[in-house]
Amino acid sequence: DAKTTQPTSMDCAEGRAANLPCNHSTISGNEYVYWYRQIHSQGPQYIIHGLKNNETNEMASLIITEDRKSSTLILPHATLRDTAVYYCIVSDLKTSYDKVIFGPGTSLSVIP
């Protein structure tokens, strides 16, 4: 699986958009970009994934650059409950055997 690089930590004001970047310059053509988050002492929670088009769901938007070498997760109106570690993962999870390998992630702190 391709390696990802994320900032170690970020702050965001409550109510503002949180933009979390991820670099994945070695991504291959069949690999998807996944985002998970982990709130303290809980299991990871799936947020969103995409291949090459921008994606949006009820939680977030995912913007993938045209060359697919980087992406940005956008939480449009961050709340205190969005404080968590956010993991960007590149993988080809098409079969049941495909693993999710976590990097260090970005620790997002939403500030009142």
Which residues of this protein are in contact with another protein, per CB under 8 A? 32, 36, 38, 41-46, 49, 85, 87, 93-105
Q: Which lies closer to another protein via its Cβ, residue 42 or residue 112?
A: 42
DSSP the chain: ----B--SEEEEETTSPEEEEEE-TT--TTPEEEEEEE-TTS--EEEEEESSS-EE-SS-EEEE-TTSSEEEEEETT--GGG-EEEEEEEE-TTSTT--------EEEEEE-
Q: Which is nearer to another protein, 27 or 87 (CB)?
A: 87
Considering beta carbons, is residue 45 or 54 the nearer one to another protein?
45
Nearer to another protein by Cβ, of 32 and 69: the residue is 32
Strands 32-38 and 45-50, by their bridges, are antiparallel
Closest distance between another protein and the C-beta of residue 15, in Å? 27
Least separation, in Å, of the C-beta of 67 and another protein? 22
For residue 23, the minimal CB distance to another protein (Å) is: 17
- Minimum gap (Å) between residue 63 Cβ and another protein: 19
